[in-house]
């Protein structure tokens, strides 16, 4: 309904002139359209914010998990590579199977490597299906 500002008559929506006094209601019709449009805009904005919040809730823990898994994997790989050097590795074409087994055993029992592998596996054990 549009209330005429001159005579107070209640006019139905979409009417451009007051049914009682005939005054132009254009500016009131426009104001109503503006109010309706801003209602739609704020509705769209609300939906947008809900989408953003859900995206953050869903993505943030994955991002956090991915970052830490990457860190643990990187640390495990660099410490394994360091341990291989400390254990007279890496194996080459001239390394005998017995020497290779010794290098592997030396690396696998390195406490730093054991801890790095354990940390990585503990952190990512939930990832495997
Ligand atoms: Zn009127």
Ligand 1 centroid to Cα of residue 30, in Å, is 17
pLDDT band at 43 (very low <50, low <70, confident <90, very high): very high
pLDDT at 126 over 90: no
Flag whether pLDDT at 66 surpasses 90: yes
pLDDT at 115 over 90: yes
Burial (CB count within 10 angstroms: exposed 0-12, middle 13-18, buried 19+), residue 122: exposed
Provide the whole-model pTM: 0.60
At 70-108, the pLDDT tens digits run 999 999 999 999 999 999 989 999 999 999 999 999 999
Mean pLDDT of 7-36: 85
- Tell me the Ramachandran region of residue 43: left when phi exceeds 0, alpha when psi lies from -120 to 50, beta otherwise: alpha
What pLDDT score was predicted for residue 123?
94
Q: Where are the domains of the chain?
A: 2-124
Distance (angstroms) between ligand 1 centre and the Cα of 11 equals 8
């Amino acid at each position: 309904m549009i209330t005429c500002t001159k005579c107070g008559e209640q006019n139905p929506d979409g009417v451009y002139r007051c049914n009682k006094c005939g005054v132009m209601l254009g500016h009131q019709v426009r104001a109503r359209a503006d109010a309706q449009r801003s209602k739609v805009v704020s509705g769209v904005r609300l939906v947008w914010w809900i989408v953003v919040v859900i995206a953050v809730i869903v993505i943030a823990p994955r991002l956090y998990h991915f970052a830490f898994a990457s860190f643990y994997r990187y640390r495990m790989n660099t410490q394994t590579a360091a341990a291989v050097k400390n254990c007279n590795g890496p194996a080459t074409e001239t390394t005998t199977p017995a020497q290779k087994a010794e290098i592997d055993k030396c690396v696998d029992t390195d406490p730093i490597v054991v801890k790095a592998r354990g940390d990585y596996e503990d952190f990512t054990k939930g990832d495997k299906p």
